[in-house]
Chain A
Amino acid sequence: MAIAIGKAIQEGRNLLEPEAYALLAHYGLPIPPHQMVSSAEEAEAAAANIGYPVAAKIVSPDILHKTEAGGVQLNLNDGGAVKAAFQQITDRARQGKATVRGVLISRMAPPGTEVIVGVIQDAQFGPVVMFGLGGVFVEVYRDVSFRLVPLAKRDAAAMIQEIKAFPMLQGVRGKRSADLDALIDLLLNVSKIVEENLEIAEMDLNPIIVYEKGLSIVDVRVLLHQKTPTA
């Protein structure tokens, strides 16, 4: 993993999504089946191999916000749709003068409860892990909890329980509880990733879909300190 991070810093960029996926996988975190492709035909073959429905996402060091740049298409159900998506996504990126490394085809995760895990740098306290429920809960209500790296298990459990929307995870209106143990593991692993890779400045795992059993990390961004920290 150190190699991919080192290379990215050398090239003065952040981790590309396939590299970020590899980083998570290295720490045993659940990521969807995915494949990086560089042509419409490869995209179709990859989708057939992975299994439908799939998502297609632009891979470019110049594009941080993929959806806003028109670089994401979801719920693609057949080869024709995948090929068309490849074309549109790469065309749009090139129109925006972005370097295109390829397109990431990944399996769509089934619906569940969406949560967000992030890492930010606090000016005084250093790396901090953030947890919240996806969508309006974070954006509108700012219903989030924070803990300093490194997290202990009880910190991870507490930060899940202290958000106001916690009952949503416990199961409301006949739904069963989301897999809280898997969430605790995820938070502990994110903390460990940051602890062991000092080059990481920020992380954004958004969304993560949590199920009764297990979870799936759908999208991940890893921003790097562009110089090795000296402290």
Chain B
Amino acid sequence: MPAPSPSFKSKEALQALFRPQSVAVIGASTAPEKLGYQIFKNILDAGFPGTVYPINPKATEILGRQCYPGIDAIPDQVELAVIIIPAPLVADTIRQCAKRGTKGAIVISGGFSETGPEGETLQGQMLQAAQAAKVAVIGPNCQGVNNPHHPLCASWPLLTRRGGVAVISQSGTVGAALMDWAAQEELGVSTFVSLGNRADVDEADLIHYFAQDPHTNTIAIYMEGVKAAPKFLEAVRQCQKPLVILKAGWTPKGRKAAESHTRSLAGRDEVYEGVFRQFGIHRARDLEELYDFSKALSHLSPPKGRRLLIVTSSGGSGILATDMAEVTGLDVAPLPDEMSQGLRAVLPKHCIVANPLDLTGDANAEMYRRVVEAAAAHFDIIALIFGDPIPGASEVVGTDPLQLVIYLGGAEVERQERLFFHRKGIPVFPTPERGIRALGQLLR
């Protein structure tokens, strides 16, 4: 079937959405409980580098900024429009925006295809207006865009931490949760995009764009179904960066829920499984995996092989890690004699020199350092489990060979050390199982 090759939104079109010079917030509000207020405030508070125009015919001033009655009242060109007004007004508004040079619109408003046939018609009219005026649209029915590298927070909550993972989500909240976790851990994201109903810009356009984006090294997607299979597959084929996807709706009832949420065709899960494997997509089975896999792929390089040494201060954690390593296809290989002998000479007598290597509860950072030094020549990966408050942990971990850090049961010291690790770009995982599962994604 010589299908026409799919065309993606151009880089220029999408840059208007992610890196605009000016923004109009249409439906900006003076009422703090309204989204129109919160989004306007977030754009200001995140430190948007260009001009921001609030638009509301009933207000004269919002947060100290002069308010305009309509986009046509703005004296200058406006590159991006963020639209938070009732659905029936959106198509016309986009036409007016185009006259002001607008290239991109983020439509937050709901009331479109997700609500039934009337909304479907409104969405069609909006899309027609946008296409005629060459305006790229994200949404409708979405939670906006947050690009902390610009910065542009046309979304909520206000998050500004910069990182390397692009988060693309068909659910606003699911994407925001991921971004929130990343911010709390001081890892951040490269950009967050809430797709909403995907009337215009879809996940394939975004994979294509973020595959070229210099701030993005990994793409994480929450989806309920692909919008257009050939375009999606072409984008994936061209993408050289790791792509992690959480595909929801994998049971019959989940599938139905997905179809009513964003009108996605959720499809047969076994087919998705096959497609993901065929195209090298990392499949996350839940939100934690989506977060953990992206975190690992964004920060760690693939190891040279599968030989894994587990070093721990917690016997139990070492066993949990070993179990997960076994089912993940890692080789928890015995220690070579010369390595065991060397370590017995420098470690306290009560340490169990085996694999897992148990330094026991009075372990300190120096002991970990000695083990890493001795193991470097014999193992492809060293998993370091800090199972107690171990000050200075972040000072003994390097990158060659690949080192995976798991930290648990360390309370305040742990929380402090985790941030030290993250500032150095070394990801820390909260349980042995989550850490090893994420590690497994680096092995394909």
Contact = CB atoms under 8 A, between A and B. Distances in A.
B3 A231 contact: yes
Contact of A146 (B3, B225, B226, B271): B271
Contact of B267 (A122, A158, A162): A122
Contact of A148 (B265, B267, B268, B278): B278
Given A144-B270, A229-B1, A125 B229 contact: yes
B274 interface: yes
Contacts of A115: none
A66 interface: no
B326 interface: no
A130 B267 CA distance: 15
Interface string B1-14: 10100000000000
Interface in A12-51: none
18 contacts: A124-B226, A124-B267, A125-B271, A125-B275, A126-B1, A128-B271, A128-B274, A142-B270, A144-B270, A145-B273, A146-B270, A146-B271, A146-B274, A146-B275, A147-B278, A229-B1, A231-B1, A231-B3
Contact of A124 (B3, B225, B270, B274): B225
B278 A122 contact: no
A148 B226 contact: no
A140 to B, nearest CB: 15
Interface of B: 1, 3, 225-226, 229, 233, 265, 267-268, 270-271, 273-275, 277-278
A155 B229 CA distance: 19
Given A124-B265, A124-B267, A145 B274 contact: yes
A73 B409 CA distance: 67
Given A122-B268, A122-B271, A198-B1, A158 B277 contact: yes
A198 B3 CA distance: 13
Contact of A123 (B265, B273, B278): B265
A145 B269 CA distance: 11
Nearest to B277: A158
Contacts, number: 46
A159 interface: yes
Contacts of B273: 145-146
Contacts of B274: 128, 145-148, 159
B290 to A, nearest CB: 22
Contacts of A130: 270
Interface string A156-176: 001100100000000000000
Nearest to A127: B1
Most central of A122, A142, A144 by chain B CB within 10 Å: A122
Given A148-B278, A155-B278, A162-B277, 10 more contacts: A122-B267, A124-B225, A124-B226, A124-B229, A125-B267, A125-B271, A142-B270, A158-B277, A159-B274, A231-B1
Interface string A161-195: 01000000000000000000000000000000000
B287 to A, nearest CB: 24
Interface string A90-133: 00000000000000000000000000000000111110101000
Contacts of A123: 265, 267
B1 A148 contact: no
Give the top 3 A-B pairs by smallest Cβ distance, nearest first.
Answer: A146-B274, A124-B229, A125-B229
Of B225, B226, B265, B275, the most chain A CB neighbours within 10 A belong to B275
Interface string A46-80: 00000000000000000000000000000000000
A172 B262 CA distance: 47
A142 B270 CA distance: 10
A24 to B, nearest CB: 22
B412 to A, nearest CB: 44
Contacts of B1: 126, 198, 229, 231
Nearest to A142: B270
A159 B1 CA distance: 24
A198 B277 CA distance: 25
B364 to A, nearest CB: 44
Nearest to A126: B229
Contacts of B226: 124
A142 B271 CA distance: 13
A227 B403 CA distance: 58
Contacts of B233: 125, 148
A122 B265 CA distance: 11
A128 B276 CA distance: 13
A78 to B, nearest CB: 44
Contacts of B275: 125, 146-148
Contacts of A146: 270-271, 273-275
A142 B265 CA distance: 22
B212 to A, nearest CB: 25
Contacts of A122: 267-268, 271
Contacts of A158: 277
A228 to B, nearest CB: 11
A122 B271 CA distance: 8
Contacts of A128: 271, 274
Contacts of A124: 225-226, 229, 265, 267
Interface in A131-156: 142, 144-148, 155
Nearest to B267: A124
Contacts of B271: 122, 125, 128, 146
A159 to B, nearest CB: 7
